[in-house]
Amino acid sequence: MIDHNSIGRLLLETRKVKKEDFVAAREESKVTGAPLHEILLSRGKVSVDDLIQAITMHVDITLLKEALGMEQGTGGNSGISHPLGSLLERISLLFKMGILISNETNMSSLIELLLREAPTMMNAERATIFLADHQTQELYSHLGVGLAHDQIRIPWQTGIAGWVFTHAESLNIADPYKDPRFNKGVDPRTGYTTKSLLCVPLRCPGGPTIGVFQVLNKRAGVFTTTDLEILEILASQAARAMEHAIEWDHLRQKASLLKEENVGLKTALRSRKPFDEIVGNADPMQDVRALIRKVAPTDTTVLIQGESGTGKELVARTIQRLSRRADEPFISLNCAAVPSELIESELFGHKKGSFTGSIADHKGVFRAAHRGTLFLDEIEAMSPAMQVKLLRALQMGEIRPVGESSARTVDVRVLAATNSDLPQLIDQGRFREDLFYRINVFPITIPPLRERPDDIHVLVSHFLDKLMIHTGKVVKGIDPAALDLLMCHPWPGNIRELENEIERAHILTAEGGYISVRCLSPRITKSLERVVRDRPINESPTLKEAVEELEMKMVEKALEQANGNRSLAAKQLGLSRQGLINKIQRYGLTCMKGTWDSVN
């Protein structure tokens, strides 16, 4: 039979309702006769889930009462005076303790709670918890409230606590001083006399024993078998809660370390020079740096243009670091990587239930970047319809999440990037002209690597320094012949391709050595192999000679195909015009009636 008043008291004891709400509902129940918990539910003072939990607890208590033979008016101990009134109240406290300790995630607070509440539940004077130290093979104490002491440590094979821990069995000892396992040296250290005790293992069902739980000196009579069973239940609950608390402690420690690491990384980023990642001394890169310095302090929209792998996101991050938004979020989105049907949600967010699969609200990158910087890479991948919505967001500073009727204001600086020819896409009807003019306020074009081969040596040194930091392996540099080969390669993948090539070569190079030609990948060395293969065996060149011969032949061929037009030849070779002139002078090439000859 369900006792409605008991359910109301359980809601109050487990802090699911406030005391003043409980009192008001109780007074109304006296007048109307309505069950107390129904009044609390109708007034919205308790949730349906909490009410179901309280009813379940009440039913469980009733079933435990029946199982232990404690129905009202029955039971063999009816003549015994219990300080709590009945064993049922102790079982009720056991359920309450289970809820309280399951919500406690701090180990010290959990043990303090157990030591404070266990004596009341067990009709005992004191409680003690010993936990195992596996490094020293000792048990160390957490003694009851009111006992002034230093921490007690005992070998886990000694004493009653040690016996229970090693045998994983419970003990009920009426007179400890008559038990040979009892450690008589503990009482003098605590100033407390042990007259009787219960000691049970601390362990989850099927799990290892992590310590022992003791209660000392029953207030009236001696500890019974039922007392021992109740303490075993409490110990099992406590062990599970301790394991969770230990996990939480580990998570908090990791979170603290991550927080410290995050602070350190932010400090390191602030201390770094803004252009540390923009590597290269060629004139085109100097121009890029100058443009970044001018535009960074403003909120102007920037269009960063360049082939894949040239470092467009690095330029965007450098602009952000030099801006007034440096301490605010930097959010990056590759538009080509998001399916067309999801791009609107990814940009502007969505409301839960607005479309199939939207199981929760989503902020979107515009809101995530509020007050900061949003980098939109491969912006040309957006559909024309999506381009219209992006244009409105840029012009009005407002977005409308999918599924919402009202617009939201955002403060975002947008940096866009493309590796395509946007004017050509406009002519093809694939990119909106009005959006182009909106994002092309301040264009920055990053030159491909083939147009600045003199920067390759600087980039190689930069990548080797990074790899040394990440791996601890030192590679001192690169051989001249290997460097010449790198400078002759067209690098269709630009800096990203070069970085991958150096990472591969770093792995193959011995500690403390230099990158040699044999450490380079076949796609870099195949041109050199053709030069060596075409030479007669008795005229095999040195490696340096082979590289120079290859380079000279490539220059000659390009000039012939361009009919002596240096600008066209330079473009074909992936060089600047001045770079081609330097190589013509280096190899002593001269033009005679459209034919190029080598001169001494």
The pLDDT score that the predictor gives to residue 306 is: 95
What percent of the chain has a predicted confidence (pLDDT) above 70?
Answer: 85
The pLDDT confidence band at residue 269, using thresholds 50, 70 and 90, is low
Q: Where are the beta strands (DSSP E) in 232-391?
A: 302-305, 330-334, 373-377
From 209, 206, 56, select the one nearest 130 (Cα to Cα).
Answer: 209
The mean pLDDT value of the chain amounts to 83
Q: Whole-angstrom Cα distance, residue 229 to residue 239?
A: 15
Q: Which residue ranges does the chain devote to CATH 3.30.450.40?
A: 104-246
Under CATH, what is the fold of the domain 104-246? Beta-Lactamase (3.30.450)
Write down the pTM of the prediction. 0.51
> Given a cut of 80, is residue 81 above it in pLDDT?
no
Q: Are strands 373-377 and 330-334 parallel, antiparallel or unpaired?
A: parallel
Of the candidate CATH numbers 1.10.8.60, 3.30.420.480, 3.30.413.10, 3.40.190.10, the domain formed by 465-539 belongs to: 1.10.8.60
Residue that wins the pLDDT comparison between 89 and 81:
89
Report whether 110 contacts 104 (CB < 8 A). yes
Under CATH, what is the fold of the domain 283-447? Rossmann fold (3.40.50)
Q: Whole-angstrom Cα distance, residue 342 to residue 381?
A: 13
Q: Whole-angstrom Cα distance, residue 570 to residue 582?
A: 11
The pLDDT score that the predictor gives to residue 590 is: 62
Q: Which residue ranges does the chain devote to CATH 1.10.10.60?
A: 544-598
> Given a cut of 90, is residue 222 above it in pLDDT?
no
Q: Which residues, listed in sequence order, are joined to residue 211 by a DSSP beta bridge?
A: 131, 202
Q: Which residue ranges does the chain devote to CATH 1.10.40?
A: 4-67
pLDDT tens profile 413-454: 999 999 999 999 999 999 999 999 999 999 999 999 999 998
> Given a cut of 70, is residue 339 above it in pLDDT?
yes
The pLDDT score that the predictor gives to residue 91 is: 65
Q: Which residue ranges does the chain devote to CATH 3.40.50.300?
A: 283-447
The pLDDT confidence band at residue 595, using thresholds 50, 70 and 90, is very low
The pLDDT score that the predictor gives to residue 272 is: 60
pLDDT tens profile 488-511: 888 999 999 999 999 999 999 999
> Given a cut of 70, is residue 141 above it in pLDDT?
yes
How many beta carbons lie within 10 A of that of residue 368, not counting itself?
16
Backbone angles phi, psi at 595, to 5 degrees: -110, 135
Q: Tokens 């359980």 identify what position? A: 10
pLDDT tens profile 516-572: 888 999 888 875 555 445 555 455 566 566 677 777 777 887 888 788 888 888 877
pLDDT tens profile 289-312: 999 999 999 999 999 999 999 999
The pLDDT confidence band at residue 112, using thresholds 50, 70 and 90, is confident
Statement: 4-67 belongs to CATH 1.10.287: no
Residue 15 carries which DSSP code?
T
Domain 544-598 architecture: Orthogonal Bundle (1.10)
The pLDDT score that the predictor gives to residue 83 is: 37
